[in-house]
Amino acid sequence: MSIEAKLKEMQEKEEQNEGFWSKLSPKEFLEQMFLCTDPDGIVYVPAFYPSASPYQEDFSFRCKMKWNYADCERVLREFQELMSLIRSVAAKGVRLGDPLGEKRALLTDAELKFWNTYLRPFADESEWAEKSRDIYDRLETADDVRALSKKLSNGETLTETEREFLRDNMDVAVSPEEKKALRRHYEAELQEAAERLPSGLGDSYCAHQLIIRVRRVGAFLMLNMPQFLLERETNALIEVLVLHRYAVRVEDISNTVRLRTELEDVLPEDVLDSYSNPVSVNTRKSMASLFVYLILKEHSSNDHPMKQQDILDALAARPYEIGLERKALGRTLHNLADSNLGIYTDRRRGAWYMGGER
């Protein structure tokens, strides 16, 4: 099967909620995030923000993490405590009705602290609720119009429903003033979210999304939503909790980029090698294992390990001058470590040479 066909199969499975991340419990999801974090702290994860529009592509996150296994265990305990509070407050919300905020005296101290952190409305949230929802809806509609117009200009055939949508919404727009006002409102919420959740490496975006996700899980519980939807939301919650606590950087990327990294992880080495064109291979790459060994022997020690990026930079420089993919370097380091040549690796520290000593 070609790499393009395999990618298409993976995309179809995700659309049917049967992909790599889809069937995991929150604990398993957390463990996979940790296992998929490479030695440089990079991990690719689904963003869990599928657009309501059929014309816009979902996206993923590329995250730079700073965590270890003890952090992984710590965040699992925090997630479990958070879920316990969400369930208890949601149960009271079902019994007492909305708005629960008017009945805060009936909450325990822990529930009240939780309510103030996650459920209390943002400063101008009530004032802006309907207005911002209207602007967001028009922005998404305008994006859909652009996507359909592009399909039309590329000579693709639109369905009758798509043509009708295009005809009905050609004039939908958002003024520059509305965009600026929406941005100011969003930035004010980000700042308040960061003040409510000051601990962690994540920025105000992660703090804001953590508050939003807690609210969504609580709403799903109160509405008794189907189990598979609740499971998706709880996975999204533990993901953003991890990012808030331990992500140094979070970037939006195309889903295709993430799927390609997953494809490299699940395919056997001989299949990955078959995707390469042997005619175009730099013959010096056959010396990569020797070059990596020499670099580590000369420039590393137990006290001064080298990260993968440091090794790649050294390979690209004189006298070696070869480019190597990170996955290929990972396999090379694994083979060297298994060859009893004094090379040692650690997912957090990097790789180093220590002779024959153990």
pLDDT score, position 215: 94
Separation between Cα atoms, residue 199 and residue 204, nearest integer Å: 11
Pair (25, 72) in one structural domain: yes
For the chain, the average pLDDT equals 83
In a domain, 107, yes or no: yes
Q: pTM of this prediction?
A: 0.67
Contact predicate 137/131, CB 8 Å: no
Judge whether 111 and 88 are in contact, CB under 8 Å. Answer: yes
Are residues 295 and 202 located together in one domain of the fold? no
Could you tell me if 189 and 252 lie in one domain? yes
Residues 201 and 296 in one domain: no
Q: What percent of the chain has pLDDT over 70?
A: 87
Q: What are the pLDDT digits (tens) for 317-340?
A: 877 778 777 878 888 888 888 887
Q: Look up the domain containing 185 and give its range.
A: 3-122+180-264
> What's phi and psi for 120, nearest 5 deg?
-60, 130
Contacts of 345 (CB under 8 A, 6+ apart): 39, 333, 334, 337, 351
Choose one of 201, 234, 264: the last residue of a domain.
Answer: 264
Residue 144 placed within a domain: no
CA distance 324 to 126: 53
CATH of the domain at 337: 1.10.10
The angle at the Cα of 81, spanning 80 to 82, to the nearest 5 degrees, equals: 90
Number of H helices, E strands in the chain: 14, 5
Specify whether 223 is located in the same domain as 284: no
Q: What is the mean pLDDT of residues 232-238?
A: 94
* Average pLDDT, integer, range 345-354: 87
Q: What is the pLDDT of residues 132-184, one digit of tens each?
A: 878 878 888 888 888 888 888 888 888 888 889 888 888 888 888 988 888 88
In this structure, are 200 and 309 located in the same domain? no
Tell me which residue has tokens 């993919």: 325
Give yes or no for residue 280 having a pLDDT over 50.
Answer: no
Is position 128 within any domain?
Answer: no
What total number of domains does the chain contain?
Answer: 2
Query: Do both 260 and 282 map to the same domain?
Result: no
Residue 345, beta-bridge partner list: 351
What pLDDT score does 96 carry? Answer: 64
Same domain (yes/no): 259, 298? no
In terms of average pLDDT, the best of 87-101, 112-126, 206-220, 259-273 is 206-220
